[in-house]
Structure 1
Amino acid sequence: MKAMVLMGHGGLDKYEWHEDWLTPSPGPMEVLIRVGACGLNNTDVNTRTGWYSKAVSEATTGGAYADVAEEDPTWGGRPLTFPRIQGADVVGIVVAVGEGADATLIGRRVMVNGWLRDWDDPDNMDKTGYYGSECDGGFAEFATADARNVVPVDSDLSDAALATFACSYSTAEGMLSRANVGAGDTVLVPGASGGVGGALVQLAKLRGARVIAMASEAKHDEVAKLGPDRILPRAPADLRAALGDEKVTVVADVVGGPCWPRLIDILERGGRYTCSGAIAGPIVEFDLRTFYLRDLTFTGSTVLSPQVFENIVRHIEQGRLQPVLAATYPLRELREAQQAFIDKTHTGNIVVIP
């Protein structure tokens, strides 16, 4: 089969294009999927570059880093085995099943839940992995997945549109769940023009919250289509003044970086900060006095329950979410697609098509 294969940590040159890669066979409790589309996300970039390593303190650049510790270059703080086919956001048709897997899945269009689990201990976060990281994923013509991690989807949306949902929307829903967002909250979303940011806007609105999006002004028209109540510039010089009388109870952040203290300063007493990324930089200035004197709650969000993904699929089938598909690229042009993703050339998600 054709596949884009990651050969090691580093720059985009670490991807190799192969047209004769061995097509996988489904093992016990696995299905074989003919990949229709696969979305890109920050995990692909950060894993390739080794950005998750504690040795790296820079923002996500997409390039190689001078120092990447061998023991912790992945999201889970463990070494990665190469060669590796990345790509978590798989949409496609099940064409075969392994022993024990549900044969009625053959011929069904499915989405893949990226969280790998020990099915004897499925709620144990320490026993999780991620699709396209701890096992091969969807940057290929075919991919295998655990049958318990695929969800049939009944939708008129294209494969490319569906491939925008899995990682971004599950990540966003996990963040909002951890922060217990609901009616009466006002949620501030930095980076609202990105995949997770756009998902946060829509999902927070579904929960009945007031949503204030932050994005570069050139992207305000696109962000407005997602339905936020207000849109602010990406980095106002005086965020408090820009907010006016708004009382922000939740900040849902995947940006971090030098503007981070301003986000914390505008939270109301008893407010919540929830985080699942730090693309502008993982090292921030943290004033503990603001944290405890305002009775703030901070939650990190990574490993999600299976119900989060299943809820996203149900929202899709009911037409309650809109995809933010920015562009599609042929799989062979994955390097160019990922560079465009890094450069934020487009507003929203980028998908590759085998």
Structure 2
Amino acid sequence: MRAHHWIATGPNGIADFQFVESEVAEPGPGEVTITVQASGVNPADLKHPGRATVFPVSIGYEVAGTITALGPETEIASGGGAIGDAVLAFRVTGGWASILTVPADTVFARPQNLGAAQAANLLLVATTAADLLRVAKVESGETVVVFGASGSVGVSLLQIARSRGIRVVGVCSANRVDEVARFGGVAIERGQAPSELAERIALAAADPIAAVFDASGRDDDIAAALAVAGNHDRMVTIVGTDVAKDAGFQFIGGVAPENAAYRASVRAELIDMAARGDLVVPVSETFVLRQALDALDLVSSGRAGGKVALVPDSNDV
């Protein structure tokens, strides 16, 4: 069985990305083959090859599709599994593909209320958001501030926080205020000096601010964050700019063993939230698999306004 997929042949960004065709490995014990209906697109898809030392590197961390084959005596992570079952998978290698074989412990039954594009974009951002709350040790009843609250990680954090009784003040651009409010946040529009923004945040928070999260990477957001943070031990960034690190933000990513282990452990909980309708994945646009570079360009621009998915067409299978 042959399929199309994307690889990086070197560390130089999209200049090294190639769309290729190759044979799909038959699933062995503990493996599952998935016919992909949608693949998630994330900034990490571009960053990953830049950290690699061995090439080619297969691109893509998460997919949704149907089971095509299972290895001998194999069950998926949520139990059972049969050919034709609708599933999602994270964290995989090579998700930008029309068909792929993955470890069974990355595969979960897909909730019926989730379309393929939503399911393929659920877990990378949601596990990141949950990890932010864990690292900062946020508890029910506390108030936190999120810079970049209308982005994909921010929207997931808003919903997870709401389910845990955590109040969120979310900083965003003017055209995204309604999105933050939609998911339970107290929206604060940026666009003024950091000191003035900090005053507005403090007024909106009313209560002491327990933790501050940076999901935007903007220097002016970091300046405002320093003005409102009551406890510098609870400032966490997922962007990891030099400005954020110099300001004392703790940087977390999905590669460190502790973070990776936690994100793996929380997948089932987050899928259950999505099945109940408590964790929504706004999808703004889909591209055919061959247009992956256009999709990545949109995501990297910060103008997507929601998640972006890749969809194989009949020529890719």
Q: Same fold (TM over 0.5)?
A: yes
Residues 39/23 of structure 1: CA separation in 2 closer, same or farther (3 Å cut): same
Residues 214 and 238 of structure 2 are in contact (CA less than 8 Å); yes or no, is this contact kept in structure 1?
yes
How far, CA to CA, are the matches of 1:160 and 1:333 in structure 2? 15
How far, CA to CA, are the matches of 2:149 and 2:232 in structure 1? 24
- Establish whether residue 89 from structure 1 lines up as the match of residue 50 from structure 2: no
Q: CA deviation at 1:144?
A: 1.4
- Establish whether residue 252 from structure 1 lines up as the match of residue 213 from structure 2: yes
Structure 2 unaligned runs (5+)?
255-259, 313-317
Residues 270/21 of structure 1: CA separation in 2 closer, same or farther (3 Å cut): closer
Q: CA deviation at 1:269?
A: 4.4
- Establish whether residue 101 from structure 1 lines up as the match of residue 74 from structure 2: yes
Q: CA RMSD in A?
A: 2.3
SS at match of 1:105: coil
> Structure 1 counterpart of 2:66, which letter?
I
Residues 191/269 of structure 1: CA separation in 2 closer, same or farther (3 Å cut): closer
* Residue pairs, 1:104-119, within 5 angstroms: 104-106=80-82, 107-114=84-91
Residues 237/283 of structure 1: CA separation in 2 closer, same or farther (3 Å cut): closer
- Establish whether residue 242 from structure 1 lines up as the match of residue 200 from structure 2: yes
Instruction: Name the structure where helix makes up a greater proportion of residues.
Output: 2
The worse-fitting range, judged by mean Cα deviation, of 34-43 and 20-29 is 20-29
How far, CA to CA, are the matches of 1:147 and 1:344 in structure 2? 33
Residues 176 and 274 of structure 1 are in contact (CA less than 8 Å); yes or no, is this contact kept in structure 2?
no
> Structure 1 counterpart of 2:81, which letter?
L
Task: Give the number of aligned pairs.
Answer: 295
Among candidates 169, 184, 207, match of residue 227 of structure 1? 184
Q: CA deviation at 1:233?
A: 1.5
Shift >6 Å, 4+ stretches: none
Residues 236/88 of structure 1: CA separation in 2 closer, same or farther (3 Å cut): farther
Task: Name the residue aligned to 2:17.
Answer: 15
Q: CA deviation at 1:113?
A: 2.7
TM-score (norm 1): 0.76
Task: Name the residue aligned to 1:53.
Answer: none
Task: Name the residue aligned to 1:2.
Answer: 4
How far, CA to CA, are the matches of 1:343 and 1:234 in structure 2? 19
> Structure 2 counterpart of 1:35, which letter?
V
* Residue pairs, 1:1-354, within 5 angstroms: 1-18=3-20, 20-48=21-49, 50=50, 73-74=51-52, 79=53, 81-102=54-75, 104-106=80-82, 107-114=84-91, 131-132=92-93, 137-233=94-190, 236-238=193-195, 239-245=197-203, 246=205, 247-259=208-220, 260-269=222-231, 272-278=234-240, 281-284=241-244, 286=246, 298=250, 300=252, 302=254, 303-305=260-262, 306-354=264-312
Q: CA deviation at 1:335?
A: 0.5
SS at match of 1:102: coil
Residues 232 and 242 of structure 1 are in contact (CA less than 8 Å); yes or no, is this contact kept in structure 2?
no
Residues 269/237 of structure 1: CA separation in 2 closer, same or farther (3 Å cut): closer
Instruction: State the percentage of identical aligned residues.
Output: 25
Q: CA deviation at 1:162?
A: 1.2
TM-score (norm 2): 0.85
Residues 202 and 228 of structure 2 are in contact (CA less than 8 Å); yes or no, is this contact kept in structure 1?
no
Structure 1 unaligned runs (5+)?
51-72, 115-130, 292-296
SS at match of 2:246: coil
Residues 209/236 of structure 1: CA separation in 2 closer, same or farther (3 Å cut): farther
> Any idea what the Cα deviations from partners look like across 1:53-96, whole Å, max 9, x if unmatched?
xxxxxxxxxxxxxxxxxxxx25xxxx2x3222211121111111
